[in-house]
Amino acid sequence: MAETILVVNAGSSSIKFELFSVDTDDQLDKIIKGQIDGIGTRPRLFAATSKGTLLSDQTWAPEDVCAVPAALEKLIAFLRPQIGGELPAAVGHRVVHGGPDFGEPVAVTSSILSELERLIPLAPLHQPNNLAPIRAVLERRPHLLQVACFDTAFHRGHADIADRYAIPERLYAEGVRRYGFHGLSYEYIVSRLPHIAPDIAGGRVVVAHLGSGASMCAIADGRSVESTMGFTALDGLPMGTRSGQLDPGVVTYLMRAKGMRLEDVESFLYKECGLKGLSGISNDVRDLLASNAPEAKLALDYFAYRIALFTGMLAAAMGGIDAFVFTAGIGENGPAIREAVIRRLEWLGLRVSFNANNSNAVCISGEGAKVPCFVIPTNEELMIATHTLRVARRREAAAVREKRA
């Protein structure tokens, strides 16, 4: 059996995973995809091959899989026979926050894990969930290479001016910065551009990652220079259930006038706002597109409007725009949203082709476009697997050098 890399994306009650095989040229090929959900309530492991053949759909009693460590053991027990009784060569983890210091993926040791745990206050809802499986593996299988890949890392090269809020320096020093997220997705898009549009790969590109979480990034010469997300993944565009950019005065109003506590406000901004709050109908763009209600139309118009507004901001950060890219669930599958966005950006030189857009073509620009527009499916898991394999190879090379010395 070929070497394999396991990619893990852990949430509060679920672990999504993908298993990649590594061929002799170090090409990665997804072979299994699945998830364990209902951890602690109704644990279920669902897995299929990359071609969709069902491999597992099993459930357990809640007490048998009450937390992440037990879920990982079930996952490993399921995977092992699939890969000739071996363990994966390495595990790559999606970790939301790398703080100010982690600008690239890192092999996790217990001291690195402690550093990552110190970042929990920066992402209290996600970081603990991302780190739980790392700790579980480190405790039970300390020799298995684990690589943390951060959503923030791709943005760490931002200029100082893009990294700040206008708040006292002491807060910046302790980490209150404009980090930006979805970095693994943007990095993957950057890796695809030379193949899809070589003439603009080195140019100024605005990428809109429109999934249930949504953000946009200004990318110049393959590097992130500005993002719509900042300190947390609440900022910027309205999302399925997250508010996006908001006057901080709204928060103080909710607390003072409505008597909301910190937890209420946090839950409200993360779970009750965005498209769901605005429409009162659904957080899912498909439901809103299918609805005739004026509130659904307002929510979709608002979404397209904000994407267009932020495009202006991101283009300003780069001094212009050479291409626009849509990606993630809505970006890849929502021609109506793409068209609404592009129509609002005609002043910038974007034009939509009705046929190309409605057939989800790679290039959806219409006649007379000065700025080409692309739809590029993202693949954050492949990006994590790629990083993990690179770290593994670097360590192997270092070990060989050490042996020779």
Least separation, in Å, of the C-beta of 129 and ligand ADP? 15
382 binds ligand ADP (CB under 6 A): no
Least separation, in Å, of the C-beta of 132 and ligand ADP? 20
98 binds ligand ADP (CB under 6 A): no
**Annotated active-site residue in 37, 151, 160, 235:** 151
Task: Name residue, tokens 């090379």.
Answer: 397
212 binds ligand ADP (CB under 6 A): yes
Q: Which residue among 116, 330, 345, 371 contacts ligand ADP (CB under 6 A)?
A: 330
Closer residue to ligand ADP (CB): 127 or 378:
378
Nearest to 326 by CA among 314, 335, 317: 335
- 185: which 2 tokens? 């997705």
Q: Which region among 18-26, 292-300, 325-333, 357-365 touches ligand ADP (by CB under 6 A)? A: 325-333
For ligand ADP, how many residues bind (rule: CB under 6 A)?
Answer: 12
Phi first, then psi: give them for residue 304, nearest 5 degrees. Answer: -65, -40
Q: Which region among 126-134, 161-169, 187-195, 208-216 touches ligand ADP (by CB under 6 A)? A: 208-216
Residues within window 107-166 making contact with ligand ADP, judged by CB under 6 A: none
289: which residues sit within 8 A by CB, 6+ positions away? 296, 300, 334, 336
Nearest to 348 by CA among 322, 366, 326, 374: 322
Residues 181, 160: Cα–Cα separation, whole Å: 17
Residue 301 annotated among the catalytic residues of the structure? no
Q: Which region among 24-32, 37-45, 255-263, 282-290 touches ligand ADP (by CB under 6 A)? A: 282-290
Nearest to 324 by CA among 210, 212, 242: 210
Beta pairing partners, 90: 5, 145
Q: Which region among 103-111, 143-151, 159-167, 322-330 touches ligand ADP (by CB under 6 A)? A: 322-330
H-state helical runs in 27-105: 68-82
Q: Between vectors from CA 158 to CA 157 and to CA 161, what angle results, nearest 5°?
A: 145
- Biggest distance spanned by C-alpha atoms of the chain: 72
Residues within window 221-250 making contact with ligand ADP, judged by CB under 6 A: 240
Catalytic residue IDs: 151
Residues contributing to the site for ligand ADP (CB under 6 A): 211-213, 240, 284-286, 328-330, 333-334
